[in-house]
Amino acid sequence: MAKENENGQERTEQATGKRIRESREKGQVCKSIEVSSAFLFLTIVISFYFYIPAVASKLGSVVSSYLGNLSMWDGSPEGLVDIFRHSVLQLAILVLPILAIFLAVGLASNILQIGFVFSGEPIIPKLSKLNPITGFKNKFMSAKSLEQLLKTLVILIIVAWVSYRAIKRELPVYPPLIGCDVSVIVLTYFHSAMRLLWDVLWVFILLALADYGFQKWQHSQDLMMTKQETKEEFKQTEGNPLIKSRIRSIQLHMARRRMMREVPKANVVITNPTHLAVALQYERGKMVAPVVIAKGAGTVAQKIREVARASSVPIIEDKPLAQALYKSVDIGETIPETLYKAVAEILAYVYRLKTGVK
């Protein structure tokens, strides 16, 4: 069933490009928290395998150094502060790189999902958010909150089940460790922990893929539009069709008026005889070839003939030539070479008429 907007209209139309761009500008994007969690957990697994062993050995050195400094403490508060500061600094040197990696991975996972989006709208304070009752409903009683709660519970159950099976699988390995060296015991526990982490990682990856697909579908559903919203957006983007039609009509009328003002300058008007009319102008020594200064069909052709008669412009009937000029030459263009001879004969005839030569 299609979703409805606040006016009760069904959202049956796919989101337009404009709607998608506006939602991104508002910070409304398709993002899955589980994808970020999967990337962070992958970072934890890799860090645990490569970085934690080195940190463990260095951490032992930090503890030894701290205890050694305490043994040499002179009893003053300043000396204790110096020992504590030195130990915290060494600990920070060990921990900060992995924290920086986690931060970079978290940012990268978001960028991979949504690209670079900068929007301040989500953090703009709104008075509606200050209502405690509305905030409580949105936080704990909305469908989105219930969906997030159920999803979290399902993830916890799956991770707990996978962890239980992994631990159960590793239990037979531990009894033989009695009497072994500490290094062997530590290495065995380390390998068991790595296998557990890899099992849980695959769970996170599968959950991330499923959740990202669901979030993408849900985001597209949230952006769906009603037919009325689509029409309104089209009007805003392309303009009202009625207004555009009126503008085109006015522009066409003005163009025809300008064209009619050029007809008295014509040397001859060639007709079809009634359906088409083409006005030609030629100034010897100034023009390479005759130019079409006006043309039209139907009522426009009739108007051209009327203006030509009123201006004493000769009107010559030549159906093939009128059709060829009307179809192949636009207003303001010179006639093609293929029509030179036919037009020249008509112009010569017009000149003879004006000079009284038969």
Could you read off the pLDDT of 240-262 as tens digits, one per residue? Answer: 666 677 777 887 888 788 889 99
199 with 76, same domain: the answer is yes
**Which CATH number fits the domain that encloses residue 337?**
3.40.1690.10
Q: Which residue has the tokens 């204790």?
A: 80
Domain interval for residue 57:
29-222
266 with 199, same domain: the answer is no
211 with 270, same domain: the answer is no
208 with 351, same domain: the answer is no
80 with 201, same domain: the answer is yes
pLDDT digits (tens, 9 = 90+) for 136-186: 555 555 666 777 788 888 888 988 898 888 888 888 887 887 777 766 776
Band the pLDDT of 126: cuts 50, 70, 90.
low
204 with 282, same domain: the answer is no
70 with 215, same domain: the answer is yes
Q: What is the distance between the alpha carbons of residues 323 and 320, in angstroms, rounded to a whole number?
A: 5
pLDDT at 15 over 80: no
Q: What is the distance between the alpha carbons of residues 250 and 248, in angstroms, rounded to a whole number?
A: 5
Q: How far is CA 228 from the centre of its chain?
A: 23
The pair of structure tokens assigned to 22 is 């506006």
pLDDT at 110: 74
Vertex 138 angle, CA 133 and 142, to 5°: 125
> What angle, rounded to 10 degrees, do the helices at 77-114 and 52-71 form?
160
What is the pTM for the complete model shown?
Answer: 0.46
pLDDT digits (tens, 9 = 90+) for 25-67: 776 777 778 888 888 888 888 877 776 666 655 655 655 665 5
pLDDT at 135: 55
Asked whether residue 247 is domain-assigned, the answer is no
Q: What is the distance between the alpha carbons of residues 207 and 215, in angstroms, rounded to a whole number?
A: 12
Q: How many CA atoms lie within 13 A of 73 on its CB side?
A: 17
Q: 3-state class of 206 per DSSP?
A: helix
Domain count of the fold of the chain: 2
pLDDT at 10 over 60: yes
For 44-174, strand residue ranges (E) read: none
Q: 3-state class of 26 per DSSP?
A: coil
Find which of 124-133, 215-224, 280-289 is predicted with most confidence, using mean pLDDT. 280-289
Asked whether residue 130 is domain-assigned, the answer is yes
Which of 83-87, 91-95, 120-124 is predicted with the least confidence, judged by mean pLDDT?
Answer: 120-124
pLDDT at 61: 62
More confident residue, 199 or 124: 199
Contact 331, 291 (CB under 8 A): no
Band the pLDDT of 16: cuts 50, 70, 90.
confident
82 with 175, same domain: the answer is yes
Q: Is the peptide bond before 273 cis (omega within 30 degrees of 0)?
A: yes
pLDDT at 306: 92
49 with 198, same domain: the answer is yes
318-350 b/e with 16+ CB inside 10 Å = b?
Answer: beebbebbbeebebeebbeeebeebbeebbeeb
32 φ, ψ to 5°? -110, 125
Which of 84-93, 94-103, 275-284, 328-337 is predicted with the least confidence, judged by mean pLDDT?
Answer: 84-93
Asked whether residue 245 is domain-assigned, the answer is no
pLDDT at 5: 52
Q: Where a domain ends, among 191, 222, 253?
A: 222
